[in-house]
Amino acid sequence: MLVLVSALSLGVRAYRLGDPCESPCTTAAEHVLMFDESYYVNAAQVIAGIRPQPGEVFGVAYQDAPPGTDPNAEHPQGAKLLIAAAIELFGDGPFAWRIGSLLFGSLAIIGMYALVRSAGGGPWSAVGAATLMAADNLMIVSGRMAMLDVYALAPMVWAVALYLRGRIIPAAVLLAVADCMKEVSVYALLVLGLLELGRVLLRARDTGLPAEWAWRPALRRLAIAVLGSLALVIAGLWVMGLIATPYAAPPFGPPPVGRRLLITGGPFDHLSYVIGFASSFTSPGGLAPAASYPWQWLLDLKPIRFSSVYPTPPPGPHAIHPASSFLAMVSPPIIALAIPALVVCVVRVLRRRPAADVGIPLLAVAWFAGMWVPFELESALASRITYLYYMVAVLPGIYLAITHLVSLLWRRRHMWLRGVVAVWGLAVLAAAVVLFPFVAIF
């Protein structure tokens, strides 16, 4: 079943991978970038020594960046280096731009299975969680576009799965890989910290729980993961800086053409720039265009449209296919169960169920709190601009919680409950079809 789900997901996300494009779509140059792809693909083109098309993309003039540098210095180079490598291998076109997202999206789905199994869940629960990820509209859209989030998600999910199995050093390596894709992955350390704190508190009340849940081994594991991953991130930034030196805007934000500088001070200067840029990415006057508040993500109140982007207006009569933009939102049947499922998980943890039963709910609560709460605090306290696609990093915790709730309902063996679960599952699949980019007409 996992193989079938993974194969179907890959095929669905690969379908019409070159779209949208400007008719007649005969050359790579006629294919159109979507939304923030214009940042990352253009940066990858510069890294690969290709000058982007003339004109400003969202006000960022990457076409003046020195070849071989990374003009998108506000994020680590990892994902952009992979896109640049694909451009070198397959040529500058939509397959090269998006093949990495396809592969990392598939790795994330398989990693979801591994995560549930590592937390003590059964194989069918693990397949269920992987299916939720594969059928979620936000994951389908994110897993076929050249954006950073899915590149960060896959190693993050696998890192936590390895951590749960006691493979701390490989977990630290993958956490560093995730951080080198997108800096938001550092919140995974909060997930691990909350997970260990929950285990320690549970064992303090029930000494019959596993000995490795005591505070000393927990602190040892967490210290190795935190210090190891942070050290490897610094090393990764240093190595990536040698390959593609960051080319940044002083002090932060899009500058006029020609007012950029190379960050040659090494990984710490680059890290300082990343943190400074993130701190300046605020909108005190209210929501920025396309932005949303994190609390809105939990209610599906503000879907986001990934629209096509032109570096310069195409001359003469033209048509873009598909004509509509892609609608991205968390699948409504999934988000409808998110809060109830998380509440159930909190109750299960507080009731101190046996270790075999508390693993998944504890991880679900830790993941959601460690990933979503920082976004909400940044938005509420510092007017930080946040977008719905940031939810990609939060969703594994929701998939875990829903999988646990559905498993509890199914095990009660009441036919009417199983019927409700079956109808809900069909609604999840129906939503995947209705919201699919080349079907949705909203």
Q: What is the average per-residue pLDDT within 1-22?
A: 88
Local confidence band at 319 (pLDDT 50, 70, 90 cut-offs) = low
Start-to-end CA span in the chain (Å): 32
172 closest CA partner among 109, 220, 215, 100: 220
Better-scored residue on pLDDT, 312 or 107: 107
Tell the burial category of 48 from Cβ atoms under 10 Å away from its Cβ (0-12, 13-18, 19+).
buried
Closest listed residue to residue 353, CA positions, set 158, 134, 205, 181: 205
Residue 223: pLDDT above 90?
A: yes
pLDDT in tens, 193-202: 999 999 999 8
Question: For position 310, what pLDDT does the model report?
Answer: 55
pLDDT of residue 403: 95
Predicted pLDDT at 399: 97
Q: Give the model confidence (pLDDT) of 417-431 as tens digits.
A: 888 889 999 999 999
pLDDT at 442: 46
Rounded average pLDDT over 404-411? 89
Comparison of pLDDT for 190 and 263, the residue scoring more: 190
pLDDT, position 155 = 97
In this prediction, residue 250 has a pLDDT band, given cuts at 50, 70 and 90, of low
Residue 354's pLDDT is: 56
Alpha carbon 403 to its chain's center: 19
pLDDT in the model for residue 266: 85
pLDDT score of 289 more than 80: no
Output the six-digit token pair for 442: 């909203």
Burial class (CB in 10 A: 0-12, 13-18, 19+), 215: middle
Q: Is the pLDDT of residue 400 over 90?
A: yes
Flag the least confident range among 69-73, 357-361, 435-439: 435-439
Least confident among 12-21, 108-117, 243-252, 313-322: 313-322
Average pLDDT of 324-337?
86
Statement: residue 308 has pLDDT above 70:
no
Tokens 């994902």 found at = 79
Q: Which residues, listed in sequence order, are joined to residue 302 by a DSSP beta bridge? A: none
Report the pLDDT value the prediction gives residue 57, as an integer from 0 to 100: 56
Q: Is residue 79's pLDDT more than 80?
A: yes
SS (H, E, C) 136-151: CHHHHHHCCCCCCHHH
Q: What is the pLDDT of residue 435?
A: 87
What does pTM read for this prediction?
0.91
CA distances, 94 to each of 46, 257, 309, 437 (Å): 16, 27, 14, 16
Please state, rounded to an integer, the average pLDDT across all residues of the chain: 86
pLDDT more than 90, % of the chain: 57
Tell whether the model's pLDDT for residue 314 goes beyond 60. no
- Report CA torsion sign: 86, 91, 92, 96: negative
Count CB-CB contacts under 10 A for residue 408.
Answer: 15
Angstrom distances, CA of residue 38 to CA of 88, 287, 307, 309, 426: 18, 22, 11, 7, 36
pLDDT at 107 over 90: yes
Q: What percent of the chain lies above the pLDDT cut of 70?
A: 88
The Cα 62–Cα 52 span in angstroms is 7
Which of 136-140, 155-159, 287-291, 344-348 is the least confident region? 287-291
Q: What is the pLDDT of residue 320?
A: 56
Q: What is the pLDDT of residue 59?
A: 46
Instruction: Compute CA distances 137 → 2, 30, 58, 173, 292, whole Å.
Output: 19, 26, 25, 30, 17
The residue-averaged pLDDT of 142-161 equals: 95
- The yes-or-no verdict on residue 15 having pLDDT over 80 is yes
Lowest-confidence segment of 271-280, 290-299, 307-316, 398-407 by average pLDDT: 307-316
Mean pLDDT, residues 281-299: 85
**What residues are paired with 306 via a beta bridge?**
326
Name which of 123-137, 160-174, 362-376, 378-392 the model is least confident about: 378-392
Tokens of 408: 């509890």
The pLDDT of residue 255 is 45
Tell me how far apart the alpha carbons of residues 167 and 441 are, in angstroms, rounded to a whole number: 46
- pLDDT(186) > 90: yes
> According to the 3-state scheme, what is the secondary structure of the chain?
CHHHHHHHHHHHHHCCCCCCEECCCCCHHHECEECCHHHHHHHHHHHCCCCCCCCCECCECHHHCCCCCECCCCCCCHHHHHHHHHHHHHCCCHHHHHHHHHHHHHHHHHHHHHHHHHCCCCHHHHHHHHHHHHHCHHHHHHCCCCCCHHHHHHHHHHHHHHHHCCCHHHHHHHHHHHHHHCHHHHHHHHHHHHHHHHHHHHHHHCCCCCHHHCHHHHHHHHHHHHHHHHHHHHHHHHHHHHHCCEEECCCCCCCCCCCCEECCCCHHHHHHHHHHHHHHCECCCCCCCCCCCHHHHCCCCCCEEECEECCCCCCCCCCEECCCCEEECCCHHHHHHHHHHHHHHHHHHHCCCCHHHHHHHHHHHHHHHHHHHHHHHHHHHHCECCCHHHHHHCHHHHHHHHHHHHHHHHHCCCHHHHHHHHHHHHHHHHHHHHCCCCCCCC
